[in-house]
Amino acid sequence: MSYSSRREISLAVQKMTNEVVKGELESSAINEELISSYLSTSDYPDPELLIRTSGENRVSNFLMWQLAYTELYFTKILWPDFKKKNFYKAIFDYQKRERRFGKTSEQLID
Amino acid sequence: MKDFNLDSTRIPKHVAIIMDGNGRWAKKKGEMRIFGHTNGVGSVREALTAAVEIGVEYLTLYAFSSENWSRPKEEISALMDLLVQSIYNEVDELNSKGVKLATIGDVEFLPKSCQKALSEAKQSTKNNKKINSYSSIEL
């Protein structure tokens, strides 16, 4: 519950390295998918949307690997003032954006 | 929800939230920081209810404070008490919403009372499937 994204990634690297040393894992098998499976979020899909309140525009060592393609939404509202309507507003804002995953608009239509 | 005309076919599966600003909220009201945290619990309920209502499947909550490093011991202890109390208060609500509670990060650094409350809440909600709410409290 004391979460640090860099620590989470470090632990995953440690675990993979140990398995390589023991001959249980081929280093050539290490790819993005495998790394994701060594993280504490392995049971969950990556977030499509990250909301941060209070006007701070940083990720602060939270889900660094998992946020690669995540839409970021920052609001000045302080957390105790955050209500359902603020959540919907963030979803609405997200829906207005086009998520391209590095592709062009044309490629997305295909 | 009706105010925003959301497209029900494009609801994100997984939303993550960095919940920041409890301390500043309390300060503006001339109160202790813990007063902000106590009121922040209501916002967790709001976000979770909204997420369940529109069909978000995973909600990850990260309790972050920009002033983490200078957080006094008394505040941490009060925050832990609040966490234990909130978990016990909310378990029925989580079950009624069909929410499964999970955690990421290192639970073993938390006081024993928190670990116990968390593991009981996880056990109690483990068969729920509607939404997974997994939280992380950064200290």
Mean pLDDT across chain B, nearest whole number?
84
- To the nearest 10°, report the CA torsion of B99, B104, B107, B109: -140
DSSP annotation of A46:
P
Catalytic site residue B20? yes
CA distance B118 to chain A (A): 10
Cβ(B10)–Cβ(A49) below 8 Å = no
Phi-psi region of B5 (alpha: psi -120 to 50; beta: other; left: phi over 0): left
User: Which token pair is B95?
Assistant: 């079950």
Instruction: Enter the pTM of the model.
Output: 0.89
The per-residue pLDDT for B108 is: 78
At B55, list the tokens.
Answer: 């069909």
| Residue carrying the six token digits 């409350």 | B117
Neighbours of B135 (CB within 10 A): 22
Best A50, A66, A79, A83 residue to mutate vs chain B (most B CBs within 10 Å): A79
| CB contact (8 A) between residue A46 and residue B22 | no
Residues of chain A neighbouring B53 (CB-CB closer than 8 A)? 84
Q: What is the pLDDT of residues B39-71, one digit of tens each?
A: 999 999 999 999 999 999 999 988 766 555 566
Token pair for residue B59? 């909600």
User: Which residue of chain A is at minimal alpha-carbon distance from B62?
Assistant: A62
pLDDT in tens, chain A (110 residues): 467 899 899 999 999 999 999 999 999 999 999 999 999 899 889 999 999 999 999 998 899 999 999 999 999 999 999 999 999 999 999 999 976 666 777 776 65
| Residue B53: how many other CB atoms lie within 10 Å | 13
Q: Which of B1, B13, B14 to substitute to test the interface with A, most A CBs within 10 Å?
A: B14
